[in-house]
A and B are shown apart, each in its own frame.
Chain A
């Protein structure tokens, strides 16, 4: 456990370092231009520019800059937004609840549709239907997310006038963004689950359960699906990354506040502190989710718990 925690901390530190290298070393004076324009307009005098540089610590030697920023980051301080002057960390946390909402909506829809397609596609006895259902997930990963969202708005908001196209409030406002963000995730879940269901259905135990008189449905849902769903849990990390990535396009499309829109906005205005806060905090969430999965997994699969204990015993001896 300590080792896992250390690894998690190392990943977050690495994400910080990578974002520092990209954002503070690469840009030449992009940030400075931004600062100059924001503070004093395009007519900023050299003295003003120098003052801004000093304020942001851009004149210190790189090692010092890195050290200072890392120290601040460990206290949750990534600097102030170049655009608004607000605390970058605060901006990210303010945007978090709204993003969690659509990520949750997307996850629910993705599991329902992706899982549904995989289960039905492998269950049906009509070959054509199975092929049709199972061909949908590969199609889902090929569609541009930004376009899917627009088509949904076009049909359900403008033609049928069923659902709102914009906004953050209400359950109805969550449906279209949920579908948009959940589509690629659902497609991945569908593909992986269908594959592992097929593997399970080819196992000898299926024959035995059938021979003992269980119905096909019982075998499919009670045995194969249960066994196939467990490996799908390892996808949680991939799914979380996918949902997070999807927020950038989805929130922009539906004009919803959230981390994705904040990121798009920050990139647009080259707001370096905010971009870095988003990157490091997303690495943090990512690592936390994976840690939680690691902890839950042995509870669901007792064989793993046994292995861990044995390993621990061996290590302790």
Chain B
């Protein structure tokens, strides 16, 4: 574990990483306390101010009903990021649980779980999530669950291989020999020792999940309008490409910035884990 000073030094030496952390902090703050960034209403527009270009009064301009695009992006952070986190959480929890079960129990259960995982991977993940959305219905939560399920196979595989690796450890044998029950061994020894790489995978998946969630929201399967969501904001500006470029450009840039920042941070975490 590097001390604070070396950590500060790495941050100063790679300004990209610093900017990435800043982007993520801003995005999270916007999700938790949108009032910090804007006092304009994201839902009710001012018709007199419709389709204004970006400027001092409206940083990202206004849309066709006079709503401030910046306010909508800021207020959209909550739903978009919540959906992303939920998606990763679903993949992480369900995938790890399956992998843990398969790796720990072994035998026919292992084969059964892993065949199921094979099947999940046989269908491209966007088609899988689209099928789930068809069945579950539309809405941000359903989109998040669908994206989560479509990504869980990798987690199950990784968790299983980690469990198989840790299981053979001397300390596990020692715990067994000293009379700890399997459940105790699982919770106290196997799980904590196999979780590291799985958590790194979770941070890597965050970026993917932001993209997939916003793509489904762009296609119109997410929140119902006028509730702002990053993907649907871009979709909403589609009809105004020629006249109001800011309606699509800024929400899109926001998604790109968050994904880039997430990928940069997760790479840094990955490298630190390997070092």
Once the chains are docked, how many angstroms separate the CA of A267 from the CA of B130?
Answer: 7
Contact: A18 with B241, CB < 8 Å?
Answer: no
Using a CB-CB cutoff of 8 Å, which residues 202-229 of chain B contact chain A?
A: 207, 211, 214-215, 218-221
Given contacts A27-B136, A248-B219, A266-B134, contact A144 B211 (CB under 8 A): yes
Q: CB-CB contacts of B244-275 with A at 8 A, as 1s and 0s?
A: 01001100110110011001000000000000
Contact: B136 with A249, CB < 8 Å?
Answer: no
Once the chains are docked, how many angstroms separate the CA of A27 from the CA of B234?
Answer: 29
Given contacts A15-B119, A267-B221, contact A279 B215 (CB under 8 A): no
- Choose one: B127, B242, B259, B263; the contact of A144 (CB below 8 Å): B259
Given contacts A15-B119, A275-B131, contact A158 B241 (CB under 8 A): yes
Q: Could you tell me the distance in whole angstroms from the C-beta of A234 to the nearest C-beta in chain B?
A: 15
Q: Could you tell me the distance in whole angstroms from the C-beta of A249 to the nearest C-beta in chain B?
A: 6
Q: CB-CB contacts of B73-114 with A at 8 A, as 1s and 0s?
A: 000000000000000000000000000000000000000000
In the complex, what residue of chain B is closest to A155 when comparing beta carbons? B245
Asked if B175 lies at the interface with its beta carbon under 8 angstroms from chain A, I say no
Once the chains are docked, how many angstroms separate the CA of A286 from the CA of B125?
Answer: 13
In the complex, what residue of chain B is closest to A147 when comparing beta carbons? B252
Asked if B36 lies at the interface with its beta carbon under 8 angstroms from chain A, I say no
Q: Could you tell me the distance in whole angstroms from the C-beta of A128 to the nearest C-beta in chain B?
A: 15
Using a CB-CB cutoff of 8 Å, which residues 1-41 of chain A contact chain B?
A: 11, 14-15, 17-19, 22-23, 26-27, 30
Contact: A272 with B124, CB < 8 Å?
Answer: no
Q: CB-CB contacts of B121-150 with A at 8 A, as 1s and 0s?
A: 011111110111111110000000000000
Task: Tell me whether chain A's interface is mostly helix, strand or loop, or mixed.
Answer: helix
Q: Could you tell me the distance in whole angstroms from the C-beta of A151 to the nearest C-beta in chain B?
A: 7
Which residues from A are CB-within-8-Å of B131?
19, 22-23, 267, 275-276, 279
**Residue of B119, B130, B131, B133 with most partner-chain A CB within 10 A:** B131
- Choose one: A26, A142, A245, A252; the contact of B125 (CB below 8 Å): A245
Q: CB-CB contacts of A252-271 with B at 8 A, as 1s and 0s?
A: 10000000000110111011
Total interface residues in chain A, CB < 8 Å: 49
Contact: A147 with B123, CB < 8 Å?
Answer: no
In the complex, what residue of chain A is closest to B267 when comparing beta carbons? A138
- Choose one: A145, A151, A271, A276; the contact of B215 (CB below 8 Å): A145
Contact: B260 with A142, CB < 8 Å?
Answer: yes
Contact: A146 with B231, CB < 8 Å?
Answer: yes
Contact: A272 with B256, CB < 8 Å?
Answer: no
Query: Which positions in A face B, CB cutoff 8 Å?
Result: 11, 14-15, 17-19, 22-23, 26-27, 30, 138-139, 141-147, 150-151, 153-154, 158, 165, 241-242, 244-245, 248-249, 252, 263-264, 266-268, 270-272, 275-276, 278-279, 282-283, 286-287
**Minimum-distance CB pairs A-B, first 7:** A147-B252, A26-B135, A14-B119, A245-B126, A27-B135, A241-B124, A142-B259
Contacts A142-B259, A146-B231 given; 10 further ones with Cβ under 8 A? A15-B122, A143-B256, A143-B259, A145-B211, A154-B241, A245-B127, A267-B131, A275-B134, A282-B127, A286-B124
